[in-house]
Every structure is written in C-alpha cells, then in structure tokens.
Amino acid sequence: MFRRMFSRSLYRLKNLSGSRGLSLHNSSISSDYAVLAAFQPLLHNRPYATTPPPAAFASSLNQTELAKFAAIADSWWDAEGPFKPLHVMNPTRLAFLRSTLCRHFGKDPFSPRPFEGLKFVDVGCGGGILSEPLARMGASVTGIDAVEKNIKIARLHADLDPVASSIEYRCTTAENLVEEQMTFDAVIALEVIEHVADPAEFCKSLSSLTVSNGATVISTINRSMRAYATAIVAAEYILHWLPKGTHQWSSFLTPEELVLILQRASISVEEMAGFAYDPLTGQWTLTDDIGVNFIAFGIKTANNSSV
C-alpha cells in the first residue's frame, strides 16, 4: 500500500512540474519528498480514476468522487452526521473569508452584512453549508455543484430562511460557467480541489471566473505525512469522522504546488492560513500551521502579467 501511495504521489509531482523542476528545497516538508524522490518506482496509472482523463478533457470532474458524495447527500445538514467535521470547521473558514475579503474589498468588518453588493460563487457548494452564511453576510451568492442531489438538498434548505432563498443554485461545473462568460468578485472553492481530476485546469477555470483584481479562495488538505496521519488515518479509520475513502492522500496538494498552479492561472496568493483542531474543546482555530488543513487567498492579477 505504501509503495502504491508513494508512486501515485510521484506521478502527481511529475505531472505537475512538467519540464520545470519543482523546487522542493524551501519546503519545510521537503524532507519527506527527498525520501520519495530517492525511490525510482514503476509509475502506475492512478487506479482511482476508472477512465484515465483524455488529454482534451474539458471538465476537471472525477466521476468516482462525485459518486461518493451523491451517496451521502441526504445528510448534508445533519450536524451530527457524516458532514459533522465540515459543520464544526465552517465558522473558522468563514472567519478567514470574512477577514480577508473585508480587507480586500475595503468593507467595514463590524457591519453585519459587509458583502452587500458583491457577487460570489461557491464552487462545489454541496448542501450550501458555506453559501448560506455568505448570503447572510450580504453577498449575492451563486452555488454550483456537479451532483444534482446536492443542489436539490441545498435549495430545500435555503428555502427555510428568507435571506438564504436569494442564493442561486445550479447543477453545473466551473467550466460551464466559464463558457457562459460569467464573472464574480470572489470565487470560493473550499475542500473541492482534492476531489477534482485535474487541479491545474480547475484553477484555470476558477481564474477565468474571477474578475480582474477579484479574489479566489481555495482550501484543501496538505499532502504531508501529518495529514496522512490525521486526515486519513485518524479521521477516517479511528475517529470515524469521515467515511472511509473520502480523501485520497495522493490527490492532496502541498501549499507550494497550489501557489504554483494558481500563479500559472494568473492568481497571486496573498495570504495563507492553516486550521488546527483542539481535541479538548472540539474547536477549530486559524493558525500559521499549514501542515494539515490550509486555506489560500489569492488575487487575480491583471490579464497581461506574465507568470
């Protein structure tokens, strides 16, 4: 299992870096990869994608990932169900969003609805756990998800609150929105990029959806040994917070990789933070430690700047 795990990650690295050597020396977790790099394993195809994505694949979706989420869609709003970790982490993510976006757009952080007049898109909105609070903060939110069931659940729940019923939910992909030439002030894709087949293409789509000087926020889990121990072994197998197989360690991105692919998509990452979980209080807090969960806030640079 370990060999397959390493080989998958190496395949990933090669895929990402292409002809450019990926500088791992500055990373604090590079020692792990120095070990990996020393291996010269056979390269296997990623066994999790049932059909390897063709070169001209327009969407960055991964069908098996979608099926996993469709299976547990009914329990999105059950705060004690399989999505409990997301519910518990939600206020912390929103705190980061609130502080960075208020600062970026120059809004009053003490206003109860600071995002009035801004258009946001929540990519991979699931049941709307993030979209509803954003709507309550005043934004005009569009929530998109590739799983039809999720959109249905999201709409049903949003109708319970008059403020949330202004959210536009659509069962579509980021690429389709790009084709429709829609743009938003802020594009938010939290805990999504680790489930897509081609993260680089996904980031390009997100970038096309963002207006110039708009914000792009992505959160994901780091591809580190600690993350394997906590997010996969502990969360899925020991504590049973998440169903087994929710995450694939090889699909995780390191912060450096994320910054790189965003840079290629004309998004310059300005701030990054990590989430830390305190088992005694059961609360998540924002921290500088990006070793496991991290969130990145980037600004779309003007179109003619070169990477």
Partner 1 sequence: MSRLIATRRLVSNIFVPRLATRAFCTDAPAKLNDVPSGSHFNKEPEGDERFMNDVPQHDIAIVGGGMVGMALACSLASMPLTKHLSIAIIDSNPALSNGPLIKKDDPPDPRVSTVTPATISLFKDIGAWEHVEQHRHAYFDKMQVWDYTGFGYTKYNARDADKDVLGCVVENKVLHKSLLSCLQNKDFNSTIYPTRLSSLSLPTRSVSSAGGSVSSTSSKNLANLAKLDLSDGTNLYAKLVVGADGSKSRVRELAGIKTTGWNYSQSAVICTVEHPTENFCAWQRFLPAGPIALLPIGDNFSNIVWTMSPKDASNHKIMNEVDFVKAVNHALDSGYGPRPESRVFGGDVLSSFFRPDVTSSVHERFEPPPKVVRLVSDRMAFPLSLMHANQYASKRMVLIGDAAHTVHPLAGQGVNMGYGDVSSLSNVIADGVAVGSDIGEVTLLKKYEAERKTANIAMMAVLDGFQKAYSVDFGPINILRAAAFNGANVFAPLKRNIISYASGERRLPFLS
Residues written for the chain: 307
Cβ at position 87, least distance to partner 1 in Å: 6
| C-beta closer to partner 1: residue 104 or 264 | 104
- The pair of structure tokens assigned to 154 is 């999201």
Q: Are 121 and 184 in contact (CB under 8 A)?
A: yes
Residue 274 DSSP class: E
Collapsing DSSP states into helix, strand and coil, what is residue 104?
A: helix
| C-beta closer to partner 1: residue 130 or 299 | 130
| C-beta closer to partner 1: residue 46 or 136 | 136
Q: Please state, in angstroms and rounded to a whole number, the distance separating the CA atoms of residues 244 and 5.
A: 16
Q: Please state, in angstroms and rounded to a whole number, the distance separating the CA atoms of residues 303 and 307.
A: 10
Separation of CA 1 from chain center:
26
Q: Please state, in angstroms and rounded to a whole number, the distance separating the CA atoms of residues 259 and 238.
A: 32
Residues that bind partner 1 (CB under 8 A): 74, 77, 79, 87-88, 90-91, 94-95, 98, 110-112, 132-137, 156-157, 159-162, 165, 281
| C-beta closer to partner 1: residue 136 or 264 | 136
| C-beta closer to partner 1: residue 76 or 252 | 76
Cβ at position 113, least distance to partner 1 in Å: 8
Residues forming beta bridges with residue 296, ordered by sequence position:
218, 272
Please report the beta strands in 180-292, taking only residues with DSSP state E, as ranges in sequence order.
184-190, 210-221, 267-278, 283-287
Separation of CA 284 from chain center:
17
Backbone angles phi, psi at 167, to 5 degrees: -75, 135
Nearest Cα to 254, choosing from 53, 33, 37, 62? 33
| C-beta closer to partner 1: residue 96 or 202 | 96
Cβ at position 158, least distance to partner 1 in Å: 10
| C-beta closer to partner 1: residue 156 or 234 | 156
**In this structure, which long-range contacts are made by residues 106-112, counting pairs with CB atoms below 8 Å and at least 24 apart in sequence?**
112/137
